[in-house]
Structure 1
Amino acid sequence: MPLLIHLRVLLVAAGLAVCRGYPTDGAGDARAYNSSMCQRSFPCGGLNIHYPLYLSNESKVVDGVAYSYCGYPGMAVLCDDSRATLQLAWGTNYTVLGIDYDNHTITLADADILASNGGCPRPRHNVTIPREAWLNFTPTGNTTISFFLNCSLAAPPPPDVVPINCTGFDPGRGSFLAPQLGAPDFDPSVACNEVYVAPVLTGEWLTSPEHRRRLGDGGYGDVLRRGFRLSWDPSAGPCFRCELSGGRCSYNQLGGFLGCLCSDGRVRTTDCGPKKVSKKTITAIGSSAAALVLFLLLVVVSFLYIRKRRQYKMTSSSRLLKYSNSGGTPRSRGGSDLESDSVHNLQTHHFAYEELEEATGGFCDTRELGDGGFGTVYKGQLRDGRVVAVKRLYNNGCRHVEQFVNEAAILSRLRHPNLVTFYGCTSSRSRELLLVYEYVPNGTVADHLHGHRAGERALPWPLRLNVAVEAAAALAYLHAIEPSVVHRDVKTTNILLDADFHVKVADFGLSRLFPLDGATHVSTAPQGTPGYVDPEYHQCYQLTDRSDVYSFGVVLAELISSKPAVDVTRDRDEINLAAMAVGRIQRSELEQLVDAELGYGFDEATTKAMTMVAELAFRCLQQNSEMRPPIREVLDGLRGIQEGGAREKKYDVVVVPRSPNTVHAPWDSMSTTPSITSSA
């Protein structure tokens, strides 16, 4: 449990003020607030909008506390042109179609989709719910449509994938959609330029073949305009007592509870005073008091432990994490500290925006290196002569700023020869958020395996094996530090190669820190790239370090086969490379998986090494995470193969008995990057 949550629970339970700015007098009353700014209700777009929603311009409602508001976090409504709009993420607006206060749900539709003309709107972004918002996707009534736009295909897609036959889409490149229910196990090809997942309401269009046939002819537009449904929990957080007394909760812009806004125009720390409640309610509150006391004892112990851990907080960039080739365990700050950092507070160099603008030639298109997950990457040269790569956050709000800060916060504390070097970023007061890395000139491993540089044949087997060893060394370092880091997006496009073909693992926008309390997993909605996401993580929403091991198993399969992780031109049961590799290895058909041009079957040493690597990949790709080896064991195995000293007993068997536990289960394409998620 993060430190701030511990503090709030302690203060609320003790009946104290949660934040400064609300001193109480002897009668227990606090300051007055401008109640005229917190209207009881207001009409907008044919809807009656009231608490817990609030007008977005209701700020500074409490004297002395800026950026506070009277409603739940993340539920600010902008009323403009007789239309109610809710902004879920920076720059992404959703029109409010309906509100059900009794069932605590709100129906939204993408404002860009509603404003589009014609029946074939073009999806532009995924839905991301800010972490501090009190909104969640309803467990029932919603499903998704996956869009795969501008794909280059050598063969027709699977029959259940619906082609989009609309004007406005590039006629030379295929575009497709796949509803979640009844859709095939379809992942977008690496040749698809854009992938989006749109939430929609479940309805007749999913179950009726007639409706499904009309989707690709523009019928999907009607489905998108019907919107999707989010819900909120009125009993969540510390404001339950406030609402029970007839008050309304006030929060700051970070989601911190400020106080209880009462009908007499005053602010109180926890509630609005005595209110008649039923005997049943009193009994329920009393019965939970004993449990609360026990809980508070645990909270106090946890709080003292976390406070002690924070004493190790680093105070300057000279005390950044250190590394050793033997995989040491450098220490860092507690996980809650790291993930709550702002760009301004990062212990790293802050560049001026003007310097980076000059270094990249005004972010000239000719200097664009590619897409960095949530921003565009440009090549530049600093005034001191260093050649750098500059990542620029998308301005259209299609990616969450939190991922940007997360990558800067994590990389500023990591040092390893096989991780991309982080030079710094702009401050939070800059015109734009920019990250600065070392420039890695030799492209990505994906480029050399099956991309535009594959024809150069610059990656013979010894180099590929070294790529595997160095990438595993980088992951072993991440998993060994305290708090450990799970990359969560291990793939060949995030493994860069320098001029000497040494590995530089990059792109930490989706990475997560593991707490220092010995937790075995972090519960979070699946994120990652199709073809690489751990199926157990996708199904159970539990992220572990073995999720990285699964993704690395796909990388190993790519290194020995030269095939992309996802290819819709392959047979349906082999679109996913992980499924193909597991199946071919189980059937003793390794020669049909490996790239024969690497020397497999012709050179005895190469054949033996590739067979051993295939066995390692097979172990990494087990659906049950407990059956996968830790990354340190994978690294030791790869080093043994590279040195030619691997024990025959451990690596001479490739085919294992077939069982349900070793068969890769197909999974749907709901989890694309970035996924629909309410937690980062």
Structure 2
Amino acid sequence: MPPLFLLPVVLVLLAAADASPAACRNATCGVHTVAYPFWLRNSSNSSMDCGYPGLGLVCVNNTTLILPFRTHHYKVLDIQYRSHTISLTDADMEYTNTNSNCPLLHANLTIDDNSWLQLASSDSNITFLYNCKRNNTSLSSAMKLTGCGPGPEYSSSSSYVFLDGWITDEAYDYECEMVVVAPVLDAHKKAMVDAWSRSSANTSSSPPNSFGEMLSAGFQLTYNTHSEKCGQCEGSGGWCGYQQNETYTTMNFTCFCEEGPTKNHCAYLLVSLQFVEVF
């Protein structure tokens, strides 16, 4: 009887496919790469399938990346996809001198608990009071701003900034024209408070560093990427996205594959070893 050999037979059942839509892979704006969960709103090749609804970014002159959030715009400084953070600065700072001690902001950043974006632990708030009729510095945390406006309407008014958890309802005591709460990096705020304390502990004058510089440094927001699902999707050769369900009522995480979108991952490369008898 001839010897019996067992030879492995490789059965390739399904092959992982490259993801689609391809435009999601190649979205850029200047030095920025735009990827899930963000997408380019003004790109003819991109769509909101590439990312979350509400996280569409606008590329201006192919250099500046803008996040429209509610009724205001924020300039994107950086996106760290590994740590799931996006660094922003108020777009109003484009019209304010970085060295200004009275940056003119026009909108509060309000984020509810259901938002895709949330303030990072590295952030802290400061509050600006513009064009106040009452010159009141009874609160030790109030610092009077300088150079807030050239017009005559500022000649009999004052503007202030609060750095230490001040409650905005007290703006009524100052009779201010506008109150704006702005997020900044807590490390920069602490450095400014320390510098101010050393130079003018018992006065309301502005600290040595400029508020314009601190605001231009920006703040950070975090986002949830469904990282476990996205990692599984990318590991199978897919591209993470977000797509409406069959009834167009909700948006769900989607893994885009060559064979079509799926809920979790593309078809894996499955290899099965079977032994056959050879005589």
TM-score, structure 1 normalization: 0.31
Provide the residue aligned with 1:230 in structure 2.
221
Deviates more, 1:125-134 or 1:79-88: 125-134
Provide the residue aligned with 2:260 in structure 1.
266
Provide the residue aligned with 1:55 in structure 2.
40
The answer to whether structure 1 residue 194 and structure 2 residue 187 are counterparts is: no
Provide the residue aligned with 1:96 in structure 2.
76
Provide the residue aligned with 1:134 in structure 2.
116
The answer to whether structure 1 residue 250 and structure 2 residue 242 are counterparts is: yes
Q: C-alpha offsets along residues 586-613 of structure 1, whole Å, 9 cap, x if unaligned?
A: xxxxxxxxxxxxxxxxxxxxxxxxxxxx
Give, in whole Å, the separation in 2 of the partners of 1:107 and 1:56: 19
Measured after TM superposition, the shift of residue 149 of structure 1 is 1.5
Give, in whole Å, the separation in 1 of the partners of 2:206 and 2:135: 24
Contact 2:119 2:220 in 1 (8 A): yes
Give the match's secondary structure for 2:67. Answer: strand
Q: Map 1:54-133 onto structure 2 (within 5 A).
A: 54-57=39-42, 68-81=48-61, 82-90=63-71, 92-117=72-97, 119=100, 120-129=102-111, 133=115
Measured after TM superposition, the shift of residue 215 of structure 1 is 4.3
The answer to whether structure 1 residue 158 and structure 2 residue 139 are counterparts is: yes
Measured after TM superposition, the shift of residue 233 of structure 1 is 1.6
Measured after TM superposition, the shift of residue 159 of structure 1 is 3.2
Decide whether aligned partners of structure 1 residues 274 and 242 sit closer, same or farther in structure 2, where only a CA change above 3 A counts.
Answer: farther
Contact 2:20 2:256 in 1 (8 A): no
Give, in whole Å, the separation in 2 of the partners of 1:243 and 1:48: 18
Decide whether aligned partners of structure 1 residues 225 and 88 sit closer, same or farther in structure 2, where only a CA change above 3 A counts.
Answer: same
Give, in whole Å, the separation in 1 of the partners of 2:161 and 2:230: 46
Measured after TM superposition, the shift of residue 152 of structure 1 is 2.0
Give, in whole Å, the separation in 2 of the partners of 1:141 and 1:242: 25
The answer to whether structure 1 residue 143 and structure 2 residue 131 are counterparts is: no
Contact 1:74 1:132 in 2 (8 A): no
Give the match's secondary structure for 1:245. Answer: helix
Specify every segment of 5 or more residues in structure 1 that has no aligned partner in the other structure, as ranges.
1-32, 62-66, 277-680
Q: Map 1:23-62 onto structure 2 (within 5 A).
A: 35-36=21-22, 38-57=23-42
Measured after TM superposition, the shift of residue 87 of structure 1 is 0.8
Contact 2:20 2:257 in 1 (8 A): no
Give, in whole Å, the separation in 2 of the partners of 1:210 and 1:93: 31
Measured after TM superposition, the shift of residue 52 of structure 1 is 2.0
Q: Map 1:428-439 onto structure 2 (within 5 A).
A: none
Decide whether aligned partners of structure 1 residues 98 and 172 sit closer, same or farther in structure 2, where only a CA change above 3 A counts.
Answer: same
Contact 1:150 1:174 in 2 (8 A): yes
Give, in whole Å, the separation in 2 of the partners of 1:50 and 1:185: 37
Provide the residue aligned with 1:553 in structure 2.
none
Measured after TM superposition, the shift of residue 130 of structure 1 is 7.0
Contact 1:145 1:199 in 2 (8 A): yes
Higher fraction of helix: 1
Decide whether aligned partners of structure 1 residues 262 and 55 sit closer, same or farther in structure 2, where only a CA change above 3 A counts.
Answer: same
Give, in whole Å, the separation in 2 of the partners of 1:265 and 1:122: 52
Q: Map 1:140-539 onto structure 2 (within 5 A).
A: 140-153=121-134, 155-168=136-149, 170-180=154-164, 187-190=170-173, 191-207=175-191, 208-211=193-196, 215=206, 219-235=210-226, 241=229, 243-246=231-234, 247=238, 248-252=240-244, 256-258=250-252, 260-264=254-258, 266-268=260-262, 270-275=263-268
Query: Whose relative contact order is higher, 1 or 2, with alpha carbons under 8 Å and at least 6 apart?
Result: 2
Give, in whole Å, the separation in 2 of the partners of 1:116 and 1:234: 34
Give, in whole Å, the separation in 1 of the partners of 2:97 and 2:230: 46
Give, in whole Å, the separation in 2 of the partners of 1:168 and 1:218: 19
Measured after TM superposition, the shift of residue 49 of structure 1 is 2.4
Instruction: For 2:34, give the aligned amino acid.
Output: I
Measured after TM superposition, the shift of residue 48 of structure 1 is 2.4
Measured after TM superposition, the shift of residue 46 of structure 1 is 2.0
Measured after TM superposition, the shift of residue 258 of structure 1 is 4.7
Give, in whole Å, the separation in 1 of the partners of 2:147 and 2:158: 11
Instruction: For 1:180, give the aligned amino acid.
Output: D
Give, in whole Å, the separation in 2 of the partners of 1:93 and 1:185: 22
Specify every segment of 5 or more residues in structure 2 that has no aligned partner in the other structure, as ranges.
1-18, 270-279
Measured after TM superposition, the shift of residue 222 of structure 1 is 0.7
Measured after TM superposition, the shift of residue 34 of structure 1 is 7.0
Q: Map 1:597-676 onto structure 2 (within 5 A).
A: none
Contact 2:125 2:184 in 1 (8 A): yes
Give, in whole Å, the separation in 1 of the partners of 2:250 and 2:113: 12
Decide whether aligned partners of structure 1 residues 154 and 231 sit closer, same or farther in structure 2, where only a CA change above 3 A counts.
Answer: closer
Give, in whole Å, the separation in 1 of the partners of 2:30 and 2:115: 23
Give, in whole Å, the separation in 1 of the partners of 2:196 and 2:141: 14
Measured after TM superposition, the shift of residue 263 of structure 1 is 3.4
Give, in whole Å, the separation in 1 of the partners of 2:183 and 2:103: 15
Measured after TM superposition, the shift of residue 40 of structure 1 is 0.8
Q: C-alpha offsets along residues 77-123 of structure 1, whole Å, 9 cap, x if unaligned?
A: 11112111111113x11111011111110100011113324623211
Give, in whole Å, the separation in 1 of the partners of 2:266 and 2:157: 65
Give, in whole Å, the separation in 2 of the partners of 1:145 and 1:103: 25
Give, in whole Å, the separation in 2 of the partners of 1:203 and 1:80: 30
Decide whether aligned partners of structure 1 residues 243 and 210 sit closer, same or farther in structure 2, where only a CA change above 3 A counts.
Answer: closer
Give, in whole Å, the separation in 2 of the partners of 1:96 and 1:58: 17
Q: C-alpha offsets along residues 277-331 of structure 1, whole Å, 9 cap, x if unaligned?
A: xxxxxxxxxxxxxxxxxxxxxxxxxxxxxxxxxxxxxxxxxxxxxxxxxxxxxxx
Measured after TM superposition, the shift of residue 186 of structure 1 is 8.7
Measured after TM superposition, the shift of residue 275 of structure 1 is 4.2
Identity in percent? 24
Instruction: For 1:251, give the aligned amino acid.
Output: Q
Contact 1:245 1:275 in 2 (8 A): no
Measured after TM superposition, the shift of residue 39 of structure 1 is 2.6
Give, in whole Å, the separation in 2 of the partners of 1:136 and 1:272: 27
Q: C-alpha offsets along residues 360-394 of structure 1, whole Å, 9 cap, x if unaligned?
A: xxxxxxxxxxxxxxxxxxxxxxxxxxxxxxxxxxx
Instruction: For 1:151, give the aligned amino acid.
Output: C
**How many residues get paired?**
231
